[in-house]
Amino acid sequence: MPDDRPHPAIGVLTSGGDAPGMNAAIRAVVRTALHHGRRVIGVENGYDGLIDGTFRALGARDVGGILPRGGTFLRTRRSERFLEPGYRRAAVRQAAAAGMDALVVIGGEGSMRGAHALAGLGMRVMAIPASIDNDVVGTDVSIGVDTALNTIVEAVDKLRDTASSHNRCFLVETMGRGCGYLAVVAGVVCGAEIVLIPEVESSVADVLEAVRDANRRGKANAIVIVAEGASIHIGDLLKAIEVADVGFSARASRLGHIQRGGSPTAFDRMLAARLGAKAVQALIGGESGAMAGLDGRSIKTVALSRIIDQRRDLSVDDYEMVKMLAR
């Protein structure tokens, strides 16, 4: 008797905050799986979709045209329900009933924790880091970070034009949650005077002095980058600069969700392709409970148990470089 049961499928979902390049990663997952003769099921709305069974079959043409698009066409959520063990077990049952024998999770730090929990329930899981925050441990960089940085550069370059025309100091708030990576790199590549990040304690006095110093040295503008998780709020800094005599007037700009959108850069597309292919090949090779990440020039896998609930180290050299190059 021929076995006419469909082959088990690999599921794929995106979770947490969206990041440019998530679509490129989904495409890589789907097409790698198809190349190896596997079916793919797309899970909509992140872990909520796994609980609710909002599934759709994904063929090669279903992921056509999504490579250059920001966001995620599978949509994403931060699922409250998935934090509860009962819903997690329900999600595993839904996946099995749909014929999924493995799952690829694309997301940030919180999503890695979800993937680890699923692996603990016996589900075969591989994860791919995608978050503009770059707070995932176990990869040099996550999908979306490069695009977000390029968006920040474009915005700050424009703010500098108007800042110079009016002899102003601009305070620019970047995203990143509890991680100062975006702010530090933006500080270096945009030529900021000083950067405020969650990982390093700074005072209002430090900022006033840096801005005053820029004015003394004859600069036409001063840029201050403030990570959203820094202990000093950008609004309070603005008030402090307005009443202090720093030689510049001041304005503040919160870049907000602009940083999450846009077509992924070549770097992010390449990273998404490599991580997507690796995650599927690892699953097919029998690996589970791990994340595909960038390590130097290589793509490697690392156990989720080793990376969850870890705080990513910040490059102190890069942080110090902001001030050194601001002369």
The answer to whether 260 contacts ligand F6P (rule: CB under 6 A) is: yes
Bridge partners of 10, per DSSP, are 40, 102
Q: Is 236 exposed, middle or buried (0-12, 13-18, 19+ CB in 10 A)?
A: exposed
User: Which of 17, 46, 49, 262 touches ligand F6P (CB under 6 A)?
Assistant: 17
CA distance linking residue 182 with residue 136, whole number of Å: 13
Longest alpha-carbon distance in the chain: 87
Number of residues that bind ligand F6P (CB under 6 A): 10
Active site residue 268: no
The answer to whether 176 contacts ligand F6P (rule: CB under 6 A) is: yes
Q: Are 186 and 159 in contact (CB under 8 A)?
A: no
Point out the catalytic residue in the list 18, 48, 133, 268. 133
Q: Which is nearer to ligand F6P, 17 or 187 (CB)?
A: 17
CA distance linking residue 101 with residue 118, whole number of Å: 12
37-to-34, 41, 61, 79, 292 alpha-carbon distances in Å: 5, 13, 16, 31, 21
The answer to whether 185 contacts ligand F6P (rule: CB under 6 A) is: no
212-to-185, 227, 241, 244 alpha-carbon distances in Å: 23, 21, 10, 9
Q: x/- binding map, residues 119-148, to ligand F6P, per CB under 6 A? A: ------------xxx---------------
Please, which of residues 47-106 interact with ligand F6P by CB under 6 A? none
Stretch that binds ligand F6P, among 115-123, 160-168, 174-182, 202-210 (CB under 6 A): 174-182
User: Which of 46, 49, 107, 108 touches ligand F6P (CB under 6 A)?
Assistant: 108
Q: Give 230's contacts (C-beta < 8 A, 6+ positions apart).
A: 180, 183, 196, 197, 198, 202
Q: x/- binding map, residues 226-245, to ligand F6P, per CB under 6 A? A: --x-----------------
The answer to whether 287 contacts ligand F6P (rule: CB under 6 A) is: no
Question: Would you please indicate which residues are annotated as catalytic (active-site) residues?
Answer: 133
Q: Which residues bind ligand F6P (CB under 6 A)?
A: 17, 108, 131-133, 175-177, 228, 260
